[in-house]
Chain A
Amino acid sequence: DIQMTQSPASLSASLGETVTIECRASEDIYNGLAWYQQKPGKSPQLLIYNANSLHTGVPSRFSGSGSGTQYSLKINSLQSEDVASYFCQQYYDYPPTFGSGTKLEIK
């Protein structure tokens, strides 16, 4: 199985800041990567697929980048509603596997 290593595990940032979350795959996943946001007590919501494509309705302050084994999610102009856990997921190969998550809080 492809292992997904996400960092940092937790992150505290101020409103208006830009934050970046990293995800590393154990092998090349050829941009087969998605990012999800899970707000407290809610189900996950898709943010990004194909490493850099924004899902319908997702604010443009979210962006994804990367290639090979290294990927990142960037959130510009951090807002209070961005408090959540963020997960990456590879779907290049079966089984689809997720990172362990990054918990984002407001400082």
Chain B
Amino acid sequence: EVQLVESGGGLVQPGRSLKLSCAASGFTFSNYYMAWVRQAPKKGLEWVATISTSGSRTYYPDSVKGRFTISRDNAKSSLYLQMNSLKSEDTATYYCARRGNLNWFAYWGQGTLVTVSS
């Protein structure tokens, strides 16, 4: 069974940094592209980042490019999201997701809440 378990969320002040983690199990982690998707409270879904199987290629929307960094450790079956210069509009539940053959999101974790507020 595919399992994705996020951690690292919490309350952080604007301008500060936070690093999210996602522990994967139930599949061969190194074979799949992985992604982060977020959802602001009572709002829709927004794709945040995608990383290739080796980690050599990363993709971001303009809203987080230059501030967020996605990475992975295939030996530990873990995915990460380093978030710098956080803004109030980054407040959301962040989901780790396993990508499908193309850019759909086949499996999702339970999410971790990030609140950016002074």
Contacts and interface: CB of A to CB of B under 8 A. Distances in A.
A75 interface: no
A101 B103 CA distance: 19
Contact of A95 (B47, B105, B111): B47
Interface residues on A, range: 20 to 34
Interface in A75-99: 87, 89, 91, 94-99
A55 B104 CA distance: 11
A65 interface: no
Given A44-B95, A49-B100, A94-B59, A55 B47 contact: no
Range, interface on chain B: 10 to 19
B105 A34 contact: yes
A43 interface: yes
Interface of A is mostly: loop
A20 interface: no
Interface of A: 32, 34, 36, 42-46, 49, 55, 87, 89, 91, 94-101
20 contacts: A34-B100, A34-B105, A36-B105, A43-B109, A43-B111, A44-B108, A46-B100, A46-B105, A46-B106, A49-B106, A87-B45, A89-B45, A89-B105, A91-B104, A94-B103, A95-B59, A96-B47, A96-B104, A98-B44, A98-B47
